[in-house]
Chains A and B, each alone.
Chain A
Amino acid sequence: MLTFRPETEAQLVEAVQAAIAERRRLEILGLGSKRAIGRPVQADAVLDLSGLKGILAYDPAELVLTARAGTPLSEIEAAMGEARQHFAFEPFRPAALLGSADQTLGGLVAAGLAGPRRIQAGSVRDHVLGFSGVSGRGEAFKAGGKVVKNVTGFDLSKLMAGSWGTLAALSEITLKALPRPETEQTLAVSGLSEAEGGAFLAAAMGSAADVTGAAMAGGQALVRLEGIAPSVAYRAGLIRALTGGEVTVHDAAASAATWAAIRDGAAFADRPGVVWRVSCAPSAGPGLVAALRGEMPVEAVYDWQAGLVWLRLDAPHAELLRTHLARAGGGHATLIRADAPTRRATPCFQPQDPALAALTQRVRAAFDPLGLFNPGRMD
């Protein structure tokens, strides 16, 4: 397929203008690591942004990093690692489930998928401070700023996070970089039912232990504590006092591996079937899974105090899943892994009620009136 591979913002503008003139719908790609999420895009050309790369500014003391959208995450993390900083939202890595190695900053922001620390530190959208990009009108524009606190004008940066490339082709992004905790520890509690585990996680999250990970996987409830060593040790005592179950401790290295697996849905990496990522009220997670188990075989891993449920099913069962989700108080389900024919036949993103869908369409048209960017992706 025809591919545009701009290496400067000026070339990006030209590429989009060419697409407009030629009425070519574009599939926007970084490194393609999450290409297999969502509806397969119906495009006439590829807009490959992986040539727009490089860190433009990074001052650890300002807690701000600006990079071109095509910069690989590995490169950014290496730079932040030297300053003992990171993206606190713990970006999801598609490697385990989708087999792809690295991802670009632009793709990471466009997908907006945060990891376990989301419950404490916020999601991708909470850390994007500003960006430059090219709209579907072929115009280069910018929004937000390059400082950590800013309310000047509409916060379009948040809108970009999780827009899956349907609004603008991002060229440059500024994010918050935060100090990495000095150490971490995970307490694993065995012998609890999922309902009991959910209640335990709720108690842990409501305690003064400042929990940064609350999950259930492999029959255990897991609580992560991060910070300076004496504080972590003290807070571990608070968590132990909340349970009568048997507690084992994962030290820093083991803890990091545990949460990387939860972050990426790795439990299902070698298992067949489809994988959903379901967001619901934390208290509703275990009940939702129990209800689904009455209908079909289900494997579940819970993160975010059970407010994020990774589900492995033999087939999508989208309608049934969403009916139960609505009964559990609502939320949304996104199909993260399935083959292309299945994704073509399934609403991969949560369908919206008509009024919200209409508003969403108007917002999209405000950025991309001809519908050239990633058409169909989020439908």
Chain B
Amino acid sequence: MTLLPVPDLIAPMQRAQIVADLRALVPGEGVVDDARSMRVFESDGLTAYAQMPLVVVLPETVDQVSAVLAYCHRNGVKVVPRGSGTSLSGGALPLGDAVLLVMSRFNRILEVDHANRVVVAQPGVTNLGITQAVQDQGFYYAPDPSSQIACSIGGNVAENSGGVHCLKYGLTANNVLGVELVLIDGTVLRLGGKHLEAGGLDLLGVVTGSEGLLGVVTEVTVRILRKPATARAVMWGFPTSESAGDCVARIIGAGIIPGGMEIMDRPAIHAAEAFVQVGYPLDVEALLIVELDGPEVEVNELLDRCRAIAGHAGAVSERVSTSEAERMAIWAGRKAAFPAVGRISPDYYCMDGTIPRKALSRVLSGIRDLSDKHGLRVANVFHAGDGNLHPLILYDANQPGQLDAAEAFGADILRLCVAVGGVLTGEHGVGIEKRDLMPEMFEKVDLDQQVRLKCAFDEEHLLNPGKVYPQLCRCAELGRMHVHHGQLPFAHLPRF
């Protein structure tokens, strides 16, 4: 298991003082310090890890957030921000010596602006809550993580979350126009807004996906889109994952970017079909689901083109949705893939690497070998359009050693992803889970540069410490430069 940072010892007296001070800043029920009430916060979506926070604070206003952060900054107290706690990488895992700052009371939609097609929301509003606020008028918020009924828009910003539609419509970062951000010293900043381009350096771009390490998001402005007039889904069975991957490459090569493109492997197909019974073919190695959305004429034309391509790529079965109910049925298995796998195994561990699509069959066969090596089964679902692979490792936490084996298996999968030119995480974030794998992808000099950015926002490393970056050097040390004065050592450099 990834080692958590050793808590600075906080004496009970000191804790009592911190709690009392925080109560003065956030009155009423906003400060929770009894073990029973804090228990619900001890984990996020990465349930293998649990730890009790020092104290939980649930602020209601930006002033309170600012006051709490300024207080923590003055007193050297660490802070872990939390939205809905669905992170799959342990980003919101509490630390024993840190305040857990829970943003769930920031749950209001502040403005729906149709002329500019934006929604301004507080960060605790759920992802789906934004769509629900605008769907009556035919609009929606495009990024759709499977956790969308629960996860918060603030958490989405912090994780730069994706969903099945993000090849065509982008990740969170591509759909956020502005945020209000509170820095660790309590400074309140606005980055971007209703205008499309934030001036100056793109700090909004780097805050998005920063996993709570740079500041606390207290307001979000997102763009909304008109709901496409029609959507149709089609699923094909393929005899090999290679031919399914080849089909995806051919569709994209033909200039078509579908609304969604998902591949499931044989174990995932079987688990899903057993769970939802929607008629997935059980005798194929890979299932490819493609959804096309837009005006009906366009959808029908592109569907025909995709069907021809799938035929050439060797599809052995095909089912095209002819009604909304049938479209939902085709998706039902894919959308339920995680719980379906949860049914066939006591526990599962979800990985999230991205690979160049052309490496799919190499990676899948590598995963099969690793499955043998670690003695654990695996089912694969794959955001095929953008190469984002979710292997689900099946294990039983009650069997001694299996959790460790699952983690070792997962780490090996991610190393394989990096080895074929991919990355450690496509949408779930690094958090605590993949922190120690960062050196697989980045050299020390790369990581140092990222940490220097952290230093510009949070010099004392008080915000979400121990997440994302393996070991944080002191900022002063990182900032030091060794400059050679005097003689020119650069004699052979081309100069004009």
The answer to whether B173 and A369 touch across the interface, beta carbons within 8 angstroms, is no
Which of A10-18, A33-41, A96-104, A248-256 faces chain B?
A10-18
Contact with B along A134-160 (1 / 0, CB 8 A): 010101111101111111111110110
The answer to whether B205 and A125 touch across the interface, beta carbons within 8 angstroms, is yes
CB neighbours (8 Å) of A22 from chain B are 488
A370 to B210, CA, bound (A): 26
Contact with B along A59-75 (1 / 0, CB 8 A): 11111100000000000
The answer to whether A234 and B199 touch across the interface, beta carbons within 8 angstroms, is no
CB neighbours (8 Å) of A161 from chain B are 202, 205
Which of B326-334, B362-370, B446-454 faces chain A?
B446-454
A159 to B198, CA, bound (A): 12
B175 nearest in chain A by CB position: A122
The answer to whether B427 and A149 touch across the interface, beta carbons within 8 angstroms, is yes
Of B201, B421, B427, chain A has the most CB atoms within 10 Å of the CB of: B201
Of A166, A282, A359, chain B has the most CB atoms within 10 Å of the CB of: A359
A296 sits at the interface (CB 8 A): no
The answer to whether B496 and A2 touch across the interface, beta carbons within 8 angstroms, is yes
Q: Which of the residues B114, B356, B430, B443 comes within 8 Å of A62, measured between beta carbons?
A: B356
A210 to B257, CA, bound (A): 14
B305 nearest in chain A by CB position: A228
Which of B23-31, B158-166, B312-320, B373-381 faces chain A?
B158-166
B417 nearest in chain A by CB position: A147
**Given A142-B446, A149-B166, A153-B442, A329-B453 contact (CB < 8 Å):** no
A370 to B438, CA, bound (A): 28
A5 sits at the interface (CB 8 A): yes
**Given A4-B493, A359-B183, A139-B354 contact (CB < 8 Å):** no
Which of A178-186, A266-274, A312-320 faces chain B?
A178-186
Q: Which of the residues B115, B214, B295 comes within 8 Å of A234, measured between beta carbons?
A: B295
A217 to B192, CA, bound (A): 26
Q: Which of the residues B188, B202, B438 comes within 8 Å of A112, measured between beta carbons?
A: B202
The answer to whether A18 and B200 touch across the interface, beta carbons within 8 angstroms, is no
Which of B14-22, B48-56, B262-270, B383-391 faces chain A?
B383-391
**Given A150-B425, A152-B423, A332-B449 contact (CB < 8 Å):** no
B483 sits at the interface (CB 8 A): yes
B479 nearest in chain A by CB position: A369
The answer to whether A140 and B445 touch across the interface, beta carbons within 8 angstroms, is yes
Which of B121-129, B248-256, B395-403 faces chain A?
B248-256
CB neighbours (8 Å) of B210 from chain A are 154-155
**Given A140-B445, A230-B298, A370-B481, A330-B174 contact (CB < 8 Å):** no
The answer to whether B449 and A139 touch across the interface, beta carbons within 8 angstroms, is yes
A159 to B449, CA, bound (A): 13
CB neighbours (8 Å) of B438 from chain A are 152-153
Q: Which of the residues B139, B200, B206 comes within 8 Å of A350, measured between beta carbons?
A: B200
A193 sits at the interface (CB 8 A): no
The answer to whether A359 and B494 touch across the interface, beta carbons within 8 angstroms, is no
Q: Which of the residues A143, A162, A163, A304 comes within 8 Å of B450, measured between beta carbons?
A: A143
**Given A206-B114, A307-B196, A5-B430 contact (CB < 8 Å):** no
**Given A60-B253, A210-B294, A231-B301, A359-B196 contact (CB < 8 Å):** no
The answer to whether A63 and B494 touch across the interface, beta carbons within 8 angstroms, is no
A342 sits at the interface (CB 8 A): no
A147 to B388, CA, bound (A): 9
The answer to whether B116 and A5 touch across the interface, beta carbons within 8 angstroms, is no
B208 sits at the interface (CB 8 A): yes
B455 sits at the interface (CB 8 A): yes
B404 sits at the interface (CB 8 A): no
B298 nearest in chain A by CB position: A231
**Given A125-B202, A359-B456, A279-B162 contact (CB < 8 Å):** no
CB of B453 to closest CB in A, whole Å:
5
CB neighbours (8 Å) of A118 from chain B are 196-197
Contact with B along A363-379 (1 / 0, CB 8 A): 11111011000000010
Q: Which of the residues A143, A359, A378 comes within 8 Å of B446, measured between beta carbons?
A: A143
CB of A165 to closest CB in B, whole Å:
12
B424 sits at the interface (CB 8 A): yes
CB neighbours (8 Å) of A182 from chain B are 255
Q: Which of the residues A17, A63, A282 comes within 8 Å of B490, measured between beta carbons?
A: A17
CB of A336 to closest CB in B, whole Å:
13
The answer to whether B356 and A59 touch across the interface, beta carbons within 8 angstroms, is yes
The answer to whether B226 and A279 touch across the interface, beta carbons within 8 angstroms, is no
The answer to whether B162 and A149 touch across the interface, beta carbons within 8 angstroms, is yes
A63 to B252, CA, bound (A): 8
B196 nearest in chain A by CB position: A307
The answer to whether A151 and B196 touch across the interface, beta carbons within 8 angstroms, is no
A352 sits at the interface (CB 8 A): yes
A14 to B495, CA, bound (A): 11
**Given A149-B426, A151-B160, A162-B202, A179-B252 contact (CB < 8 Å):** yes
A143 to B452, CA, bound (A): 13
Within A256-304, the residues touching B (CB, 8 Å) are 279-283, 304
The answer to whether B423 and A145 touch across the interface, beta carbons within 8 angstroms, is yes
A119 sits at the interface (CB 8 A): yes
Q: Which of the residues A4, A148, A282, A283 comes within 8 Å of B386, measured between beta carbons?
A: A148
**Given A21-B488, A281-B194, A369-B356 contact (CB < 8 Å):** no
Within A106-122, the residues touching B (CB, 8 Å) are 112, 118-119, 122
Q: Which of the residues A304, A350, A360 comes within 8 Å of B203, measured between beta carbons?
A: A360
B484 sits at the interface (CB 8 A): yes
Contact with B along A324-351 (1 / 0, CB 8 A): 0000011110100000000000000110
CB of A127 to closest CB in B, whole Å:
9
B430 nearest in chain A by CB position: A152
CB of B387 to closest CB in A, whole Å:
5
A28 sits at the interface (CB 8 A): no
CB neighbours (8 Å) of A210 from chain B are 226, 294
Q: Which of the residues B200, B430, B484, B493 comes within 8 Å of A378, measured between beta carbons?
A: B200
Q: Which of the residues B166, B196, B302 comes within 8 Å of A279, measured between beta carbons?
A: B196
CB neighbours (8 Å) of A228 from chain B are 298, 301-302
A235 sits at the interface (CB 8 A): yes
B358 sits at the interface (CB 8 A): yes
* 10 closest Cβ pairs, A-B complex: A158-B205, A332-B199, A231-B298, A179-B255, A281-B194, A362-B456, A366-B452, A350-B199, A18-B490, A283-B115
29 CB contacts below 8 A, A to B, read A2-B495, A15-B493, A20-B483, A21-B484, A62-B358, A149-B383, A150-B425, A151-B209, A153-B441, A153-B442, A154-B450, A156-B453, A158-B173, A158-B208, A202-B115, A208-B226, A208-B229, A228-B298, A234-B297, A281-B194, A281-B195, A282-B116, A307-B195, A331-B199, A349-B200, A355-B189, A362-B456, A363-B203, A366-B449
Known: A15-B490, A283-B116. 5 other contacts (CB 8 A): A61-B357, A143-B449, A150-B423, A151-B428, A366-B453
